[in-house]
Structure 1
C-alpha cells in the first residue's frame, strides 16, 4: 500500500533534536497540520514521539528502534510518525504527558503516544525496548499489534472510545477551574500565603532525607530548588530549625555528590541514587539557573562561603560553556560523548568499536587517568578527595567524582598543613579540568529559549550584589540578546526559540513570565529603567493574551480564538486541551511565576490591573493549592506576595551606592523587590517619559532623596520605614519587624 508519508522531513527543521533523527529510515514528520491531514487522508493512526536532544533514553530508543529498517517499515506503512522537541513545543509535551500520568501513573522521555488521526492518544508509554523485556512489550511487536487493531472496525471503535475518555480526563485536569459558585467561600477567597508556606515547609520536612539530604529515601533524587527556597523562607519567618536543617542538608548533599560537576562546576540533571553519587549526565540551562539562586540565598541566610562558591562556579560554567558570543544562553549539553583515548577499544562500548558515544564519558575518571595528569602527592590527594578508586562507582571501572574526604581529613592522613592541602587540591583541580578539556566534548543543543534564558538572566542579575557587578552585566547582555532576536517591539510578539538566526514561535506563558521576571531583576540590579519597561510590556501581553477573565486563570497558551491567522504554532488544531501549568517540576510553574511577577510589577502601575489578575489566579486555584501546597510552590509564593505585599526597597539616588548594593546583595531578604529611581522629581519625570507613564506609580511616588543624599524607603506588609539616608537603619527597622514568630 502507499505509505502515508513519502519521506523523512526533519532535515527541514532547525531543532537539533529533530535533526538528530533526520537520517532515520522512519519517515518522521514535524508536528503540524499537514501530518494530521495525511493521517486522515490515509485513515491511519499517528505515532507521536516526544523527547529532547540531551535525553539519554531518547538516544537509546533511537539506536535500538528508529534506526532499524524493519521497525521503520512498520511505522511508515501503518502510521504517520511525528517527532516533537519538547523544548520547542512544551504545550504538546504537557498535554500528552498529562495523559501518560493519568493513565499509567508516570511519565518521562522519550514519551511515546499512539493517536487517532485527530491527535487523541489511545495508547501511551515512555521508552520501549526493541524486544519484550521486564513486562514491557517490544516496540516493533507493539506497533504491529496496534496497526492490526486499527484495521479491525470493532477494535478501532474501542480505541476511539478510549481516546475520548483519556483526552476528556486530561482536558479536565489541564483546563481545570472551579465552576461558578463552587469556588472558595467569599470570606476565605484566597489562601493565606503565610499559612500555605508553613504547611508546604512542614510537608517538605516530613519528606526530607536526614542522612543524605534531598527529598525521598529511595531511588532517583531530583534537584528541587523551589522546596529549598520555601524552607529557607519558612525558617526566616518562624525560626524553626528543622526547616533550615532540611534546606542546608539538601544544598550540602547536592554539592558533595556526583550530581555536581566537581571538576568543572555546574549541575547534571539528577542523581540516580539516594546518595547523589551517580547522575544522569546531561546539563540543562534551567537547572544551572535555578540552583545558583538558592545557593546564593543559602549563603545570605547562613554566611557559609561554600554556598557562594557553588553559585559562582555554576554561573561560571554557564558563562563558559552555554553562552552565545552575543550574550544569550544555549539550552543543554548532552549526557554522552566519545570516551577519551585511553578508554577506547572497549568492546562493551556501544557497537564494540570503542568510539560509540558513552554516557558520562567526558566527566568520569580512573586512577590511572589522574596519575597521568598529576604528580605526587597531588595525585593521591585528588584521588582521595574525589573518591577515585580502582573499580570506581560507575560503569567500566570509572568514577564520578564526589567529595569523599574533607580537607582536614586529608591533612591529617598525609601529615600536611590544612592550607597546603587546600592549595594543592586547587592546583590539582585546575590541572584535571585542563586535561579534561582535551577529551571529546558532549554535543551542545544551541537553541536559545526565551523562558530558560529568563531564569538564567534572573540568576546572573541576583548574583551581582554578592559576586560582583560583572554578573549583572552578563544578565543585561543576555536580556538584550533575547529582546533583539526574539521580540518584535512593533507587534509585541515574543518568540519561543532562536537558533542560528532561525526564529520559532510565538512564545508561551513561561517565555513571557520568566523573561519578564528576568528583566525586572536586571532593572533591580542595574538601576536602568529600560529593562523594567520591557518587563511591563511582557506582563501586558500576559494579561491581554494568556489571561481569561471569565475563568480567573492564566493559560499556558494564547487564546486560540483570539490568535491572528498564521500566528498560532502549526498543528495547534490537533491539541485536545489548552493547558495550565500548576505545579513546579524541573522549572517553576509558569502560572505561579506569572502571578507573582504581576503582583511585583503592580507597584509600577496606577490602575491595579496586574494585582487584580494575580488575585484572581490565587483565588481561583485556592482549593488546589491548599490541598497540596508542596506541589505548588510557585503559586504559594504568589499567594504570599499578594497577601503580604512582600518586601520593597525604593532607593532614590543618581546611582545606588556600591556599599548599599553589596549590603542588599548579601542580606537575606526573600522575594525583596529593589526599585531604584532618580533622586529628584525632575529626574523621575524623565524616566516616566521614557517609560510612557503619565504619572509616577506608587512605588516611586513621593519618594525623593532627602537633602540630596541616597535615600532608602523600605516597606513590608504595605507598611514603610521613614526615609533613611542610612541603609542599615532602614534594614534594622525591617529586621525588627521580621523577628521569627
Structure 2
C-alpha cells in the first residue's frame, strides 16, 4: 500500500523540480470521481481475456452518481500472491485512464505539506531501502530550502509559477523541521540536521509565547489584535504538537538539553487541555509519552509555572468525602498585581470568561461550579467598565461521588481557562491545571 501511494505521488503530485503539489481534483465533467471509475465494459475492453484473473482479486463498488464503480482489493490474500501478474493489468488500466479528461491539478507548493511528504519519503527510504524514496525526499527538501526560505531566514508559505509569497505560519516551520530531522535520520547527511536546527531557531524567535509558553500560529503583527495558539489536532496534527516532536528529535540527535526543555514547556502550556480532552490532542499526547520515556524525572509536573500571571491552589474539604453525599472543593486563584481576568459571566459576549472544568476517576453524580461576582472596573483605554477578578479569588465546585466510590482513592482533575489583561492589552487565552488525589470514606 505504501509503495503504491509513493508511486502515485511521484507520478501525479510531484513537480519537475521535486516539490510536491497540493491537490488533484476528484471531479471531472461535473461528475464526482468520473476519472477514477470503471464500467464493466471499459474493463473488458482494456483487459480482454484476462478480465477473469482481474476479478479474482478486485471488486467494484457503485458510486452515488455516475455509471462506473470504484475498484478495490476484494481478496487481499490473492492480491499478495498474484501481485506480479496484476501489475501489467494495472498498467494497462492506467494507460487507458490517461485517455480521459484529466482532473484539475492544484499545483501550488505549500511548505507544511511538503514537510510532511519529506518525512514520509524519508521514512519510506529508511524502512524499504528504495533509493528513489531518498531522492524524492532530498529533491523536495532542496527545493524548499532554495525557494521557500526568505532572505531574513524565515519561510514563505506558498510557491507557484516561480513566485514564493505569504509569510509562513507555525505549521510550515514545524512540519518542515520535522521532515528535515527525518531526512537526517534516514541519510546521516549533516546538512539536513543543520537546516532543521536553523528552522527551529527561527520558529522560536518568531512564534514563541514569552508569557506562558507554547507557539502562536502567526508571527507578531500590528494588524493582529490577538494571536491564537492551538493544541488540538484537526485533519492534520497541530503545529504545537509537531513542533514539540521536532524539538524532541533535535534533542535526541544533538544531545542538547535546551531543545528538550523547550518541548517540555510546550507540553506544560497545553497540559490542561490534554487532561480535559485527551482525544483532541493525540499527537501532543504522543509527544508527552516521548518526553517522559526519555526523561523519567519529568514525570513530576508543576501545575503552575513560577512566572505565571495567574496561579492556582486546590483546597479539599477537611474531612474525607462520603460517597453519595455532596461536598465542596475550592480552587483559589492568585492574580499578579496590575493584571485581571474576566469574571464569569463576563461583561460582553466577545470576552472570554474565567471557567473551571473538572473530571475524575469516578463518574460524578453531581458537579456544579459557583463563580463569585466580579468587581466593576473602568478602563479608560477601552471606554468601558468590565466585571473582572483581581488579586485573590475562589471558585467553588459542589460535587457528589457515586456510591461505588466508597473506600477507594482516585484523582480529581481541575482545569482553569482564563484570559489575563492589564489596562491596555489582553494576552491570548491560557490554561492552568492541577490533579489532586482524593480518598473516599469507606
State the SS of the aligned residue for 1:480.
Answer: helix
Residue in structure 2 matched with residue 583 of structure 1 by the alignment: 232
1:384 CA drift (Å) = 5.3
1:422 and 1:624, CA in 2 relative to 1: closer, same or farther beyond 3 A? closer
Residue in structure 2 matched with residue 362 of structure 1 by the alignment: 35
Separation of aligned partners in 2, 1:513 and 1:481: 17
Separation of aligned partners in 1, 2:16 and 2:256: 40
Residue in structure 2 matched with residue 380 of structure 1 by the alignment: 52
Separation of aligned partners in 2, 1:403 and 1:393: 16
Superposed CA offset, 1:562-618 (max 9, x none): xxxxxxxxxxx3x56422231222111111010121122134567633222211111
Residue in structure 1 matched with residue 410 of structure 2 by the alignment: none
Residue in structure 1 matched with residue 71 of structure 2 by the alignment: 401
Separation of aligned partners in 1, 2:19 and 2:203: 23
Tell me if 1:620 matches 2:264. Answer: no
Instruction: State whether residues 394 and 400 of structure 1, in contact with CA within 8 Å, keep that contact through their aligned partners in structure 2.
Output: no
State the SS of the aligned residue for 2:35.
Answer: coil
- Equivalent positions of 1:236-247 (< 5 A) are none
Separation of aligned partners in 1, 2:93 and 2:173: 40
Separation of aligned partners in 1, 2:4 and 2:92: 16
Separation of aligned partners in 2, 1:606 and 1:578: 32
Instruction: State whether residues 453 and 515 of structure 1, in contact with CA within 8 Å, keep that contact through their aligned partners in structure 2.
Output: yes
1:396 and 1:477, CA in 2 relative to 1: closer, same or farther beyond 3 A? closer
1:400 CA drift (Å) = 0.9
State the SS of the aligned residue for 2:159.
Answer: strand
Tell me if 1:594 matches 2:266. Answer: no
Q: Of the candidates 92, 96, 99, which is equivalent to residue 431 of structure 1? A: 92
Separation of aligned partners in 2, 1:386 and 1:325: 33
State the SS of the aligned residue for 1:497.
Answer: strand
1:379 CA drift (Å) = 1.3
1:473 and 1:511, CA in 2 relative to 1: closer, same or farther beyond 3 A? same
State the SS of the aligned residue for 1:503.
Answer: strand
Given the two structures, how large is their TM-score scaled by the length of structure 1? 0.38
1:442 CA drift (Å) = 0.7
Separation of aligned partners in 1, 2:46 and 2:265: 60
1:524 CA drift (Å) = 1.3
Superposed CA offset, 1:290-333 (max 9, x none): xxxxxxxxxxxxxxxxxxxx111101111111111111111000
Tell me if 1:481 matches 2:130. Answer: no
- Equivalent positions of 1:316-331 (< 5 A) are 316-331=7-22
1:549 and 1:576, CA in 2 relative to 1: closer, same or farther beyond 3 A? closer
1:545 and 1:605, CA in 2 relative to 1: closer, same or farther beyond 3 A? farther
Residue in structure 2 matched with residue 315 of structure 1 by the alignment: 6
- Equivalent positions of 1:216-295 (< 5 A) are none
Instruction: State whether residues 122 and 134 of structure 2, in contact with CA within 8 Å, keep that contact through their aligned partners in structure 1.
Output: yes
1:626 CA drift (Å) = 1.6
Instruction: State whether residues 584 and 633 of structure 1, in contact with CA within 8 Å, keep that contact through their aligned partners in structure 2.
Output: yes
Tell me if 1:530 matches 2:191. Answer: yes
1:576 and 1:438, CA in 2 relative to 1: closer, same or farther beyond 3 A? farther
1:460 and 1:500, CA in 2 relative to 1: closer, same or farther beyond 3 A? same
1:395 CA drift (Å) = 1.9
Residue in structure 2 matched with residue 645 of structure 1 by the alignment: 294
1:607 and 1:368, CA in 2 relative to 1: closer, same or farther beyond 3 A? closer
1:511 CA drift (Å) = 0.4
Q: Of the candidates 447, 456, 461, which is equivalent to residue 122 of structure 2? A: 461
Separation of aligned partners in 2, 1:605 and 1:527: 13
- Equivalent positions of 1:556-571 (< 5 A) are 556-560=217-221
Separation of aligned partners in 1, 2:240 and 2:53: 48
Instruction: State whether residues 543 and 613 of structure 1, in contact with CA within 8 Å, keep that contact through their aligned partners in structure 2.
Output: no
Separation of aligned partners in 1, 2:14 and 2:251: 32
Instruction: State whether residues 178 and 245 of structure 2, in contact with CA within 8 Å, keep that contact through their aligned partners in structure 1.
Output: no
Residue in structure 2 matched with residue 635 of structure 1 by the alignment: 284
More strand, by proportion: 2
1:366 and 1:617, CA in 2 relative to 1: closer, same or farther beyond 3 A? same
If asked which structure has higher relative contact order (CA below 8 Å, sep 6+), I would say 1
Separation of aligned partners in 2, 1:381 and 1:607: 57
More helix, by proportion: 1
Superposed CA offset, 1:353-385 (max 9, x none): xxxx32101100110111111112x21332453
Given the two structures, how large is their TM-score scaled by the length of structure 2? 0.62
Separation of aligned partners in 1, 2:157 and 2:201: 17
1:644 and 1:407, CA in 2 relative to 1: closer, same or farther beyond 3 A? closer
Separation of aligned partners in 2, 1:317 and 1:585: 25
Q: Aligned pairs, how many?
A: 294
Tell me if 1:492 matches 2:143. Answer: no
Separation of aligned partners in 1, 2:253 and 2:75: 51
Separation of aligned partners in 2, 1:600 and 1:422: 37
State the SS of the aligned residue for 2:198.
Answer: helix
State the SS of the aligned residue for 2:72.
Answer: coil
Separation of aligned partners in 2, 1:393 and 1:406: 22
1:423 and 1:550, CA in 2 relative to 1: closer, same or farther beyond 3 A? closer
Gaps of 5+ in 1: 1-309, 339-356, 411-417, 562-572, 647-741
- Equivalent positions of 1:115-194 (< 5 A) are none
Instruction: State whether residues 34 and 66 of structure 2, in contact with CA within 8 Å, keep that contact through their aligned partners in structure 1.
Output: no
State the SS of the aligned residue for 1:362.
Answer: helix
Gaps of 5+ in 2: 296-442
Superposed CA offset, 1:442-498 (max 9, x none): 11111110000000000011111232222112101100001100103x411210010
Separation of aligned partners in 1, 2:185 and 2:36: 37
Separation of aligned partners in 2, 1:441 and 1:481: 26
